[in-house]
């Protein structure tokens, strides 16, 4: 079972629920894969709102390995997700939010009218 306090998420892939976690080692793996100098650069790269299928494979694979699953990206690429492309994007988004955090509310909420 995923532990949100540890930055873990649960995801359905290939008819099974997996735990994913971007540990420090997994983040270092992604820095190398994306050519990011540091965590800030990695967060900026992943926070652009643009996601290729190759990016999703890398992030999901690193998250699986970070949670202790011995699985290669080639195997991740063959995994099915019940919601298709939207489901893969959701896994990546939830994993990045669990790792880097997310805004609980809009940064500049509108002020109430007087």
pLDDT digits (tens, 9 = 90+) for 24-81: 999 999 999 999 999 999 999 988 878 899 999 999 999 999 999 999 999 999 999 9
Give this prediction's pTM.
0.86
Enumerate residues 6+ apart whose C-beta is below 8 A from 2.
8, 9, 10, 19, 20
**Quick check: 28 and 20 in contact, CB under 8 A?**
no
Q: What is the pLDDT of residue 114?
A: 53
**Quick check: 11 and 17 in contact, CB under 8 A?**
yes
């Amino acid at each position: 079972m995923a532990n949100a306090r540890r930055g873990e998420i649960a995801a359905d892939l290939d008819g099974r629920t997996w735990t994913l976690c971007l540990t420090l080692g997994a983040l270092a793996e992604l820095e190398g894969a994306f050519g990011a100098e540091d965590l800030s650069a990695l967060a900026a790269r992943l926070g652009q709102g643009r996601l290729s299928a190759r990016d999703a494979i890398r992030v999901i694979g690193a998250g699986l390995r970070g949670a202790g699953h011995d699985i290669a990206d080639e195997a991740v690429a063959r995994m099915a997700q019940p919601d298709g492309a939207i489901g893969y994007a959701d896994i990546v988004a939830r994993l990045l939010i669990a790792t880097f955090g997310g805004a609980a509310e809009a940064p500049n909420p509108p002020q109430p009218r007087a």
